[in-house]
Structure 1
């Protein structure tokens, strides 16, 4: 009897939690909806719906927002999601910079900070810079930590599910003895979620960008490294060990330069930002020691500078080899290009599409749109915040208890 009672209690508690998350997701997605419509769609009893909605109202996540349109009989009372009930923190640790964003529960950025930093070489300094920027965005909006649901961290490394705070010692050896998740969880006392930066670029596009209609997509981050994140059936595909999408180390030229990973002719050795800028310097015949920047390369290409255009054409050619493979293998509906270099737009898209057409099945190419991201340089930090939102919508206990949100 005791065993049976315990199982029944656990099952009932689990069912209540599942139904609570189901309703929370529905209200978040619809923005406003009546109790009657929730009951109709979920096939839950009106009393169950009312009890869950009342609990969500006490948490500050939803509130009554007035009467809806009558379909006969009394006008229904609409329940609305409170987008500013809690805040989310998203952090991007790029190879050479740190970004922190504070968002609401609809992905809107409330505060944003960015700083250059040698992330790959300086783990201790990077973590300190993250702490500083996170505190700055909290202070900027006077947000107490108790009103923050959690922190998402985008890192320039694959993330293994068994050790999400540890970066790859092969790709970023200086981070071997550091745990990003544990360090920041201890510093802020918040739930911390860590994922690869390209994965979070893909998640950002899924929620707020090119993939909002629910289509499968691939997001390619063009920066110091070249990474891709993949959304399949509405969620990030990470692979068995978290290394799905590591196209930086796709070998595309067997006679190409040696890569730090040990392979030769990896994509990153040909179109990573360091390789692109070095090629641009050679073609421009620059002798000065001042480093060329990606922004200058972009501006040169837009201005019609032949050397800059040649570099962008080469980027499109090699990237097209990788994208053609993605189309043949996964056939996403959309391929989104992110990173500062992608802001050249059609100057990159035209040679890229030409390269893809030579290598991908015509049926794959016909079903896929290749576009540049409209989310800008905040996409990955917002994607990191979205990682927290996704987790909290699936498990509403991640939202702090006994908090009453401000009116939406």
Structure 2
């Protein structure tokens, strides 16, 4: 009897937790909704809905926001999600920089800090920089750690599900033996979530950018490394070992330059930032002088510089090989290009689309929009914060256990 009673108690507790997360997600998604409408959509009893809403109000996550429009009878009281109830930290560790954002529960950036940092080769310095920038963000907004849901980290490496804090020793050999999640959770006493940077670029687009309509989406990060993230049925697809989307290591030229992964002619060796800068050095006649930056290549292309335009054309043609394969394999509704070089817009999209048309099935091409990201340079750090938000909306216990008083 005792075993049976315990099992029933666990089942009831599990059902309450499931229903609580269901309602929380609905209120977050709708922004404001009545108890009656929640009951109608979920088919839960009005008393169950009222009890869960009362609990969510006590936690500070939702609040009553006034009367709605009557459909006959008494006007319903609307329940609204409190976007400002808690904060989330998002960290982007790029190859040569660290960026940190503090967001609310709607992905809006409250404050932002960034610094140059050689992430690939300096794990100790990188972790120190992350800690400094995170604390600066908390101090700038006077946010106590007890009101932070967690900290998300975007890493320039595949992340294996069985070791979510560790970088790939093949891609980042200097990080062998380091655990980002463990190091940062120890420092800040917060839940820490780590994922690949392109995956989090895709998640950012899914929640706040080109993919908000719910369509399947591929995000391609064009930077020092080349990677892609995939949203399938609303979730990031990571693959069995966390390496889904590593298009930068598709070998597109068997006679091309050697890659750090051990292959030759990988896409990243041809269109990664380093390769583009070297190409610019050759074409722009700057050999022996300071190398042009990606920003200067972008500015040159916009100004009509023939060498810069040639670099962008070559980028589009090589990238088209990988994108055509993606369209034939996954057929996403949207492909979003991110990274500073993508800011040239149609100067890149036109040769890319032309390259894809030569290689992809016409039916795949017809169903896919290829666009550049409109989220700006903080998008991946915001995606890291969104990873925490997604986890908390699915598991309400991740929100800090405290009552948050009402704000004006």
Aligned residue for 2:260?
Answer: 260
Q: Contact 1:158–1:242 (CA<8 Å) still a contact in 2?
A: yes
Aligned residue for 1:349?
Answer: 349
Q: Distance in 2 between matches of 1:289 and 1:8?
A: 74
Q: Contact 1:151–1:388 (CA<8 Å) still a contact in 2?
A: yes
Per the alignment, in what secondary structure is the counterpart of residue 242 of structure 1? coil
Per the alignment, in what secondary structure is the counterpart of residue 327 of structure 1? helix
Aligned residue for 1:115?
Answer: 115
Question: How do 1:106-185 residues align onto structure 2 when only pairs under 5 Å count?
Answer: 106-185=106-185
Aligned residue for 2:100?
Answer: 100
Q: Contact 1:82–1:405 (CA<8 Å) still a contact in 2?
A: no
Q: Deviations over 1:181-218 (max 9, x none)?
A: 00000000000000000000000000000000000000
Aligned residue for 1:31?
Answer: 31
Q: Contact 2:206–2:212 (CA<8 Å) still a contact in 1?
A: yes
Question: How do 1:330-369 residues align onto structure 2 when only pairs under 5 Å count?
Answer: 330-369=330-369
Q: Contact 2:39–2:45 (CA<8 Å) still a contact in 1?
A: yes
Per the alignment, in what secondary structure is the counterpart of residue 376 of structure 1? coil
> Gaps spanning 5+ residues in structure 2: where?
none
1:284 Cα deviation from its structure 2 partner? 1.0
Q: Distance in 1 between matches of 2:317 and 2:406?
A: 51
Per the alignment, in what secondary structure is the counterpart of residue 378 of structure 2? helix
1:288 Cα deviation from its structure 2 partner? 4.0
Structure 1 position 293 matched with structure 2 position 269 = no
Q: Deviations over 1:318-338 (max 9, x none)?
A: 000000000000000000000
Aligned residue for 2:240?
Answer: 240
Q: Contact 1:84–1:405 (CA<8 Å) still a contact in 2?
A: no
1:285 Cα deviation from its structure 2 partner? 1.4
What TM-score, normalized by structure 2, do the two folds share? 0.99
Kindly report structure 1 stretches of 4+ aligned residues shifted beyond 2 Å. 405-408
Aligned residue for 2:209?
Answer: 209
Q: Contact 1:35–1:49 (CA<8 Å) still a contact in 2?
A: yes
Aligned residue for 2:51?
Answer: 51
1:243 Cα deviation from its structure 2 partner? 0.3
Aligned residue for 1:318?
Answer: 318
Q: Distance in 2 between matches of 1:403 and 1:273?
A: 47
1:174 Cα deviation from its structure 2 partner? 0.2
> Gaps spanning 5+ residues in structure 1: where?
none
Q: Deviations over 1:142-196 (max 9, x none)?
A: 0000000000000000000000000000000000011000000000000000000
Task: Let me know the Cα RMSD of the aligned residues.
Answer: 0.7
1:88 Cα deviation from its structure 2 partner? 0.4
Aligned residue for 2:251?
Answer: 251
Q: Deviations over 1:112-165 (max 9, x none)?
A: 011110000000000000000000111110000000000000000000000000
What TM-score, normalized by structure 1, do the two folds share? 0.99
1:405 Cα deviation from its structure 2 partner? 4.8
Aligned residue for 2:65?
Answer: 65
1:292 Cα deviation from its structure 2 partner? 1.5
Q: Distance in 2 between matches of 1:261 and 1:143?
A: 41
Aligned residue for 1:387?
Answer: 387
Q: Distance in 2 between matches of 1:406 and 1:216?
A: 38
Aligned residue for 1:197?
Answer: 197
Structure 1 position 280 matched with structure 2 position 245 = no
Q: Deviations over 1:331-363 (max 9, x none)?
A: 000000000000000000000000000000000
Choose between structure 1 and 2 for higher RCO, CA contacts under 8 A separated by at least 6 residues: 1
